[in-house]
């Protein structure tokens, strides 16, 4: 009996793929065919596969390239190679680079089925293991990401896929969207969970200090270096180094970072020799790194190296449906931190009002607001009237009438009404209304159509 799974079969000869498809489908697998390595990599990026069966020798992007790309996405995906007679050397190379098994052509189908089934069973165990680790990480309060919107669910799935890979990860998204939390989740859900998680903000230190902070220095390496320092790369050995605001890293340090990523070796300031470290890099930025590359302020080679796996964190205004859940989460947290607070919850009207604000500071801004309410408000249930004085000054005025009368409307309807009200308030100028609300003008058009 076979284990169910979705398999990607890669061969630049269509007939070979077709020949494999039937028996694999009969055995209960869902099979996708890719003709050539390039198509395979594109498909693996777009769709999660449970296993990949790949020809080794292909024109252009070959089997080893596919292996590398798939393992960069998720190092647990078993990749089984097929090689022509005489291609054993490259098959051995593939095994060294993490292939699960190789078959020499002509191979027996029952052999392929047997190994595939075994690989998938092992993968299923690994997936279960990850789920256990995630549950443990959440219990310990680490990586506790809140949100059930489609955007967040997509993010969780990507975190799951990427946590086990070795490749560097780039987190992109505006300030306060949870990039550090995601970096922690990647660490604590992956195989490095028992190793160190070290975070550094690249803007927090002047250039030379950042250099010795990251790479370490010998005693006397420069004036004032009265003690040797190991540096954060060495401290993060066996774990993850989170480089926040990587866009602001000085060019000279970017070159050094690239070298560490390429050969896994760091050299302390003032040292002759280097030492090997095993560190996974997770970098984050709220800036447009492509633009910084164009301006010559960020190295293109480092960008490509970091950009292999990129996770995009959506602004809070694009996942407003998570706001009620976040309010609940932060209320519980604020209460725990402020035991004397009387606040128990926010009224539905207050939550509905929060769900319509633009939130330029994203989740952090919402979290700070709830914390402020916990300290300042004296009642158990915070209503609209108590909320209003604490809203950020740039926030558009909340229209209490609409909110109070229609608090039982679905959030989407409420949002549409609020948008319509804001458009009127901006004299019919939708671009301006979109700006004030912190949303795209196309969202206004969409909501208008929905509202009819
Ligand atoms: N999805 C989420 N669930 C729960 N808390 C969140 C979530 N996203 C962000 N937070 C909280 O919001 C605050 C800001 O998050 P974090 O520091 O991870 O953001 P960031 O994107 O790294 O910001 P910056 O770019 O300014 O460094 C943190 O206190 C974090 O706990």
- pLDDT for 29 beyond 90: yes
Give me ligand 1 centre to Cα 177, in Å. Answer: 5
Please report the pLDDT score of residue 101 as a whole number: 92
Q: Give the residue whose CA is nearest to atom 28 of ligand 1.
A: 364
Q: Which of 143, 180, 336 to mutate to test the pocket of ligand 1 (most atoms within 8 A of CB)?
A: 180
| Domains in the chain: boundaries | 6-130, 151-314, 317-451
Give me ligand 1 centre to Cα 244, in Å. Answer: 12
Query: In this predicted model, what pLDDT tens digit does every residue of 272-281 receive, in sequence order?
Result: 888 899 999 9
Q: Give the residue whose CA is nearest to atom 7 of ligand 1.
A: 178
Please report the pLDDT score of residue 134 as a whole number: 64
Q: Which of 142, 144, 172, 178 to mutate to test the pocket of ligand 1 (most atoms within 8 A of CB)?
A: 178
Q: What is the 3-state secondary structure (H, E, C) of 29-58?
A: CEEEEECCHHHHHHHHHHCCCCEEEEECCC
Ligand 1 atom with minimal separation from the 177 CA: 21
Q: Give the residue whose CA is nearest to atom 30 of ligand 1.
A: 178
Average pLDDT over residues 6-30: 91
**Ligand 1 neighbours by CB, cut-off 6 Å:** 145-147, 173, 175-181, 244, 284, 286, 329, 363-364, 367
- 330 against 48, higher pLDDT: 330
Query: In this predicted model, what pLDDT tens digit does every residue of 317-332 receive, in sequence order?
Result: 999 989 999 999 999 9
- pLDDT for 405 beyond 70: no
What gap in Å lies between CA 50 and CA 6, rounded to an integer?
Answer: 5
Q: Give the residue whose CA is nearest to atom 23 of ligand 1.
A: 176
Q: Which of 170, 181, 246, 360 to mutate to test the pocket of ligand 1 (most atoms within 8 A of CB)?
A: 181
Give me ligand 1 centre to Cα 330, in Å. Answer: 12
Q: Give the residue whose CA is nearest to atom 8 of ligand 1.
A: 178
Query: In this predicted model, what pLDDT tens digit does every residue of 114-148 receive, in sequence order?
Result: 999 999 998 888 777 767 766 666 555 544 789 98
Exposure string over 378-395, b if 16+ CB within 10 A, otherwise e: eeeebbbebbeeeeeeeb
| 9, 24 contact by CB (below 8 A) | yes
The overall average pLDDT reported for the chain is 86
Give me ligand 1 centre to Cα 395, in Å. Answer: 20
- pLDDT for 45 beyond 60: yes
Please report the pLDDT score of residue 409 as a whole number: 60
- pLDDT for 400 beyond 50: no
Q: Give the residue whose CA is nearest to atom 10 of ligand 1.
A: 178
Ligand 1 atom with minimal separation from the 180 CA: 18
Q: Could you tell me the pLDDT band of residue 394, with boundaries at 50, 70 and 90?
A: low
- 176 against 46, higher pLDDT: 176
Q: Could you tell me the pLDDT band of residue 285, with boundaries at 50, 70 and 90?
A: very high
Please report the pLDDT score of residue 172 as a whole number: 96
What gap in Å lies between CA 320 and CA 356, rounded to an integer?
Answer: 8
Please report the pLDDT score of residue 439 as a whole number: 86
Q: 317-451 has which CATH code?
A: 1.10.8.60
Average pLDDT over residues 5-26: 91
The CATH T-level fold of domain 6-130 is Rossmann fold (3.40.50)
| 309, 261 contact by CB (below 8 A) | no
Q: Which residues pair with 34 in a beta bridge?
A: 10
Please report the pLDDT score of residue 142 as a whole number: 47
- 184 against 396, higher pLDDT: 184
Ligand 1 atom with minimal separation from the 178 CA: 18
Q: Could you tell me the pLDDT band of residue 414, with boundaries at 50, 70 and 90?
A: confident
Give me ligand 1 centre to Cα 145, in Å. Answer: 9
CATH 3.40.50.150 assigned to domain 151-314? The reply is: no
Q: Which residues pair with 198 in a beta bridge?
A: 241
Q: Which of 94-98, 148-152, 269-273, 276-280 has the lowest mean pLDDT?
A: 269-273
What gap in Å lies between CA 88 and CA 386, rounded to an integer?
Answer: 73
Average pLDDT over residues 255-271: 88
Average pLDDT over residues 160-176: 92
Average pLDDT over residues 238-250: 94
Please report the pLDDT score of residue 310 as a whole number: 93
Q: Could you tell me the pLDDT band of residue 208, with boundaries at 50, 70 and 90?
A: confident
Q: Give the residue whose CA is nearest to atom 26 of ligand 1.
A: 175
Is 6-130's fold the same as 151-314's?
A: yes
Looking from the CA of 419 toward its CB, the CA atoms found within 13 Å total 26
Write out the DSSP string of 347-375. -HHHHHHHTTS--TTHHHHHHHHHHHHHH
Q: What is the ipTM of this complex?
A: 0.97
């Amino acid at each position: 009996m076979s284990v169910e799974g979705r398999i990607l079969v890669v061969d630049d000869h269509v007939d070979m793929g077709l020949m494999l498809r039937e028996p694999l489908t009969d055995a209960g697998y869902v099979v996708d065919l890719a003709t050539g390595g390039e198509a395979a990599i594109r498909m693996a990026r777009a769709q999660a596969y449970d296993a990949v069966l790949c020809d080794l020798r292909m024109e252009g992007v070959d089997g080893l390239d596919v292996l590398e790309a798939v393992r960069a996405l998720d190092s647990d995906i078993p990749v089984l190679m097929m090689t022509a007679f005489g291609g054993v050397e490259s098959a051995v190379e593939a095994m060294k680079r993490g292939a699960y098994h190789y078959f020499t052509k002509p191979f027996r189908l029952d052999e392929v089925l047997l190994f595939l089934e075994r690989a998938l069973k092992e993968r299923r165990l690994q997936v279960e293991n990850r789920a256990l680790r995630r549950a443990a990480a959440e219990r310990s309060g680490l990586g506790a990401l809140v949100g059930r919107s489609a955007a967040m669910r997509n993010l969780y799935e990507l975190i799951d896929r990427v946590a086990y890979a070795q490749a560097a990860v780039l987190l992109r998204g505006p300030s306060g969207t949870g990039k550090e939390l995601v970096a922690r989740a990647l660490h604590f859900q992956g195989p490095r969970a028992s190793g160190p998680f070290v975070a550094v903000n690249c803007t927090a230190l002047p250039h030379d200090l950042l250099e010795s902070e990251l790479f370490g220095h010998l005693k006397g390496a420069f004036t004032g270096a009265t003690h040797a320092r190991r540096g954060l790369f060495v401290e993060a050995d066996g774990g993850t180094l989170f480089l926040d605001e990587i866009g602001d890293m000085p060019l000279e340090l970017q070159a050094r970072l690239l070298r560490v990523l390429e050969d896994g070796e760091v050299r302390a300031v003032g040292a002759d020799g280097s030492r090997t470290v095993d560190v996974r890099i997770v970098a984050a930025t709220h800036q447009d790194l492509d633009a910084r590359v164009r301006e010559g302020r960020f190295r293109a080679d480092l960008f490509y190296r970091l950009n292999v796996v990129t996770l995009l964190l959506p602004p809070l205004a694009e996942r407003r449906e998570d706001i009620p859940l976040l309010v609940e989460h932060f209320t519980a947290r604020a209460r725990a931190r402020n035991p004397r607070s009387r606040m128990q919850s926010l009224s539905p009207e207050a939550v509905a009002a929060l769900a319509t604000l633009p939130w330029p500071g994203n989740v952090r801004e919402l979290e700070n607001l709830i914390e402020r309410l916990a300290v300042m408000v004296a009642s158990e249930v915070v209503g609209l009237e108590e909320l209003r004085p604490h809203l950020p000054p740039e926030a558009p005025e909340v229209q209490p009438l609409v909110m109070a009368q229609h608090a039982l409307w679905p959030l989407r309807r409420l949002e549409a009404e609020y948008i319509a009200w804001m458009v009127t308030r901006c004299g019919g100028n939708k671009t301006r209304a979109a700006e004030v609300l912190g949303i795209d003008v196309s969202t206004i058009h969409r909501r208008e159509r929905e509202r009819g």
